[in-house]
Structure 1
C-alpha cells in the first residue's frame, strides 16, 4: 500500500490526489493549476501511485533535464520503480565537444551501434536490469550522478536507463520524448501512446507550439553542407545544385527582423531532393567512418552540417509545419515551425488519461478547442478550491492606465512615460525590481530613457539564468529588464535566507505575441476549427495572460514574501484580460504623482 511520504498533507494535496485517483483511470485528462509552494508534484504522483493497478505506464514529462531531479526525488520517497531519460547526446560518454546537433549525433550513434563499434553500447549485455535499477535508486535524485555512475562502469547511460522502460511504473523524461513523435517512437518502440498515462509539467508551455518545435538553418550552415558534399561525394551534383539554389533564394529575399512566411513549394520545388540530401548525409558519415579508420571518438565529435540541413528540410515537408525566414545581421535564416496546435497535441489525444499541471494554466476551453482534446476531466484551481498557498494580502496589484504598449501609440513620449514609472518603482523598492517587456525593441527603447545611475541587468538573447543571479547577488538592489516568455520571465528565482529578493514586478505593456507571419499562420490554422474571434482570443489574449502570470509568479516564492505587481497598460482594464488574470486590482492609477504617493505608502506600511 502506497503511503504519503510526508508527515501531513498540505491544504488541497489529499483532495487533488483523490481526484487523480478517480478520474485518470477512467481515461480523463485532469487539469491542475497550483502555485509554487503547493507541492503539486508529490500530490499528483501520490494520486497516480494509488491508482497504478488501473493505469497504463506513467510518463511524466518536464521541459528541461534540470526539472527531472525534483520528480525522481518524490518517486524515490514513494518507493515505486522509475527510470528517466533526457538528451542521449548529453548522456553520451563519447561526446567531448559543444555545438554538435542532435541529428548529427544520433546518425553517428546509429551507425556505430549497427556496426558494433560503440564499446559503451556493446557492454550493456554485461550488466543486468537489477544493477541499473540499483544505480538509479542509490544515486537519485541527482540525475547527473546516476549518468556518471553508469558511464564509469563502461556502459551507455542512455540505453542502460532505457532498459528499465518496459518494467518501470514511472518514466520521467524531457518534452521531446513525448511531444516529438519520431523521438517517441525511437525511445519507446514497443509502447504506443494508448498504453501510457501522461503527466505534463508546466503545461502552459502548450500555448506556444514553437516551444516544442523550433528548427533553424543559417546561410552558413547550408554553405558548410555544400562544402561537405563537394569534399566527400563530389559526384552528387544534384544535391550541390539544390542546396546552392536554396542559398540563392534566401539571399534574394528582402531583409526582415520579423518572421516572414515562405511557401514550401517556392523554397523546395522538388520534395524528392530532400530525400537525396538525407541520403547524402548518411553517405558522408560512412565515408568519414572509413576515413578515420573507425576511430569512434573522433567521428562522434566531428560536426557535419549536412545532417542538420537534411533534418530541417525533412521537417519542413511534414503536414502542420511551415517555413519562415528572418534576418539576423546581414544574413537571412530559415525557421521551420508548427502552425497547427494539433501537431503537438497528438500524443495527448491518444493516451490513456493523465494530468496537465502548471502554476499558470490556460483556461479549460484552450485544451478542448485549440488542442482538440475530447477527454478533458476536471479543471482544478487549487487556490480557488482549497485555499491560498500565499496569503492574498501579501501582494498589491496596481494598474497604470496612462501608458500602453499598443503599436499605434508607441513613441518617444510613451517610452519616456514608461521610464518615469519604472524609475520610481526602482527608487522605492529596496531589493530587486523585475521589469517585463513585450519585446526586445520595446525594452531597449524604454531603457534608453532611464537614468544612468540605476543598477541594471539586461536580458540578451544569450543570457543565462545563472549569469543573472550571479550579477544580482553582486549588485544587490537592481532593476532586471527581461522579455515576456523568455528565460528570465519564466525561470528566474532569486532568493536568500528563505525569502524572495524580487519585491516588485513591473509589466511594461500587454505582452501580446509579435504580429508577424508566424502568428498569422497560427491564426489561419486555428480558423479550421474556430471563429476568427476565438482564434484571436486564444493566440493573443490567452497567451498574454499566461505570460503575465508567469512573470508575476517570479516574486512570491515563500509564504512570508510580499510583492508589488504593476500592470502598466490601460488594456489591463479590459474585461477579458481581467477575467483571464483573476487578479484583484487594489488601485488604478492615471498619473505619475498618485503613483509616487502610492509607492511611498507601500514602502512605509507594506514592504
Structure 2
C-alpha cells in the first residue's frame, strides 16, 4: 500500500501505526489532528493497510458536504486504490445537473423515468461491465469529473453506477446522509458494515445530532403542498388535508425549537404513505405531460415531494416534531432525533470507526450522550509531532468588558459590543474581520447599532464565494455571522495560499440556545447531572474553535483572536480551547492598541 504523498509529513506514518494497532471490533478511534497535518491521508493509508492484511473488506469515508469530497479523491488517486464516490443524486444526474429542480422533486421524477424505462443513462447500466466502469474512473480529478466521465464517456447514470461499484471497490467516499439518515441509508444497504471501517471526517458535527440526522420544511412549502393535493385530487384525500391544515395552525415559540409532537397533529405511517403516493402520482402525471420527451419533466417542481421526504423522516422511531421561526418571520417545521443514542447505534453497526477532526467530540459525549458501546481510543496528532498552528500562530486576547449572559442582555451591553467591534475594524488595514455571535438575536441587536462604515456585511445566505469576490474588490471587510452556521464551518478566503481572515472576534460564548429540543437533551442526562453542563461547554468550545480556525489554515497564517466575554476567564472553557491567552483586559482602547500592533507586525511580514 502506497502512501498518498511521496514524502509523508512528520508523524503521519507513526499515527497510522497507532490507528492500526488499536483498531478492532471492540474499539473506535477518535483522531484529533490540527489543520494542515494531513489526517485524510493517514486514515486512507490505515484503511488500505487493514484491507491488505485481510482484517476488513472495505472502508466508507463520509464528509459533510460534496466539496469536501475532492481532497479525499486526490489522496485516493495517489494511492492506486479502487474507489467510488457518492453524493447528491440530483447533482450527479446528467439530465438534472443544469435544471432548476430540488432534490425532493428530482427523486420522484427520477423514479418515474426509471420505472417507465425512458432514462437512457439508467438503461445502459444493464449492459455495462464493472471493470469498464473502474477503468474509466482512472482519469477523474474531483467529484464533478467523476460524474461527467461516467455520463459523457460511458453514457451511464453516475449515481447508480457508483452504487453498483460499492461492493467492488476498496473505499467508498460519500456524504453524511448515506450513513446518518435512515431514508437514504437504505440506498447502500447491501454493504456489510461488519466487515467495513467507517471514517467520519469533521466528526465534531456529530455533537449537533439534530443537524446531522434531522430534516426541515417551511410552512410555505406545506401550504403549497395542501393546494397541490386539492388541485390534483379534489375531495379525495380529506384526512391528509385535515392533518396538514392542523399543522399550518401551529404557532412558533419565542425562542428556538418549540415542541409540537407528531401524534398531536395526527401524523401516522398511513398519512406518510398517502403523501408519498400523492407525490408519486403527481410526478407520473407531469412525466406523462411530456410523452416522447419525458426527460423535460425533470425541471418541474412540486411541493408534495418535499413533504413526503420530510414525513419519511418524522415517522421514524426516535424522531419528533418541532417548530421555529427565524428573524425574517419564516416559520419552519423540524423532524429531529430525540433518541440521542441513534448516532451510537449507527457507529456500532460497523467493524470499527475512525472519527476525525481538529476539534473532535469528547469521549464523554460519545459514551454518555451518543451511547457508543465501544472502547473509545483517543489519539492526538500533536503527540506524534504535528504542530498546532491555531495555538502557535495566534495572539489571543480576552475582553472582559461585557457578557452575553441572558440576564445582562440589554441596550447598554449591545452598545459596548458595537463600540468594541467598530474600534477593531477601524484599525484593520486589509483582509477580513470575522465577527461571530452566539445567536441571530445578539447579532442583529449589536449590528443595528453600528455607525455607517464601508465594507460591513451581515450573513444572509449568499454563497461562500460571494465573500471572496467582495474582499478582492474592497481590500478589507467585516463579516458578521453566527457560531455553528454555514460560514463559521466552511468559509475560506485565501490569496496565494494565505488566509485573508486576520482578526476574529467571538462575541459571547456560543452555548446552544435553551429551547424545547435542548431541554429534551438535558432530560436524557437526568436531573441534576453535571454532564449536561459539560455537554453545553463542549458544543460551545467546538463552535469557537471552528470559527477561529477559519483564520489559520496553514503554517503561513497568523491571526488575532479576541474572546469577548468575561466568562472566558473560566478555566474549564480555556482548557477545552487549548489556546494561548496573551492578554486579559476590559479596555476597548487596549484592544484597539493590540489590533494596531498586530496589523503593523503582519504588514511588515507581508512586505
TM-score range, shorter chain: over 0.9
Aligned to 1:554: 550
SS in 2 for 1:283: helix
**Partner in structure 1 of residue 261 of structure 2:** 263
Structure 1 stretch displaced more, 94-103 or 8-17:
94-103
Q: What is the distance in 2 between the residues matched to 1:596 and 1:333? A: 41
Q: Which runs of 5+ in 2 are unaligned?
A: none
Change in 2 beyond 3 A, CA 1:270/1:550: closer
2:426 equivalent in structure 1: 427
Query: Could you tell me whether the CA contact under 8 Å between 1:226 and 1:240 is conserved in 2?
Result: no
Give the conservation status (yes or no) of the 8 Å contact 1:23–1:377.
no
1:359 aligns with 2:358: yes
Give the 5 Å matches for 1:100-249: 100-139=101-140, 141-152=141-152, 153-186=154-187, 188-234=188-234, 236=236, 239-249=237-247
Partner of 1:579 in structure 2? 575
Q: 1:597 to 1:280 in 2, by over 3 A?
A: closer
Deviation at 1:547, TM superposition (A): 0.3
Say if 2:540 is the partner of 1:544: yes
Secondary structure of 1:216's counterpart equals strand
The 3 A distance-change label for structure 1 pair 286 and 596 is closer
**Structure-2 residue corresponding to 1:15:** 14
After TM superposition, the runs of 4+ consecutive aligned structure 1 residues lying more than 6 A away are none
| 1:115 positional shift | 3.3
> In the alignment, does 2:587 pair up with 1:591?
yes
Q: Please, which moves more after superposition, 63-72 or 288-297?
A: 288-297
Distance (Å, rounded) in 2 between the aligned partners of 1:313 and 1:110: 18
8 Å CA contact 2:182, 2:313 repeated in 1: no
1-structure distance, mates of 2:203, 2:501: 24
- CA–CA separation in structure 2 for the residues paired with 1:498 and 1:85: 29
- 2-side partners of 1:37 and 1:331: how far apart? 39
Distance 1:284 1:497, change over 3 A: closer
Change (3 A) 1:593 1:115: closer
Aligned CA distance change for structure 1 residues 218 and 3 (closer, same or farther; 3 Å): closer
Query: For each residue in 1:141-177, what CA deviation from the matched residue of structure 2 results, as whole angstroms up to 9, or x when unmatched?
Result: 2221221122124211111222211110000001111
**Are residues 1:457 and 2:453 paired?**
no
Contact 2:252 2:324 in 1 (8 A): no
Partner in structure 2 of residue 568 of structure 1: 564
Go from structure 1 to structure 2 and tell me whether the alpha carbon gap of 1:282 and 1:235 turns closer, same or farther (over 3 Å shift).
farther
Farther-moved stretch of structure 1 (578-587 vs 351-360): 578-587
The aligned counterpart of 2:96 is 95
Tell me the distance in 1 between the aligned counterparts of 2:598 and 2:217: 50
* Deviation readout 1:190-214 (Å, 9 max, x if unpaired): 2232232111000000010122234
Please tell me the root mean square deviation across aligned C-alpha atoms, in Å: 2.4
SS for the counterpart of 1:35 is coil
Q: TM-score, normalised by structure 1?
A: 0.92
Give the C-alpha shift of residue 3 in structure 1: 2.5
Tell me by how many angstroms 1:122 deviates: 0.7
Using the TM superposition, give the Cα deviation of residue 391 of structure 1 relative to its aligned residue in structure 2, in angstroms.
8.0
How many angstroms apart in 2 are the aligned matches of 1:270 and 1:82? Answer: 40
**Equivalent position SS for 2:165:** coil
Hey, what's the Cα distance between the residues in 2 that align with 1:284 and 1:385?
58
- Measured after TM superposition, the shift of residue 324 of structure 1 is 1.1
Aligned-pair CA distance for 1:603 = 4.1
| Residues 250 and 333, structure 1, Cα contact 8 Å, conserved in 2 | no
**What does residue 534 of structure 1 align with?**
531
Question: Secondary structure, in 3 states, of the residue corresponding to 1:532?
Answer: coil
What are the Cα deviations for residues 494-518 of structure 1, in whole angstroms up to 9, with x where unaligned? 1212322121111111011122222
Q: 1:230 to 1:356 in 2, by over 3 A?
A: same
| Rounded Cα–Cα distance in structure 2 between residues aligned with 1:495 and 1:172 | 26
Instruction: Give CA-to-partner distance per residue, 1:210-232, whole Å, 9 cap, x none.
Output: 22234223333233323333333
- Structure 1 residue 54 displacement after superposition: 1.2
Partner Cα separation in structure 1 for residue 480 and residue 571 of structure 2: 28
Name the SS for the 1:163 alignment partner: helix
5+ long unaligned stretches in structure 1: none
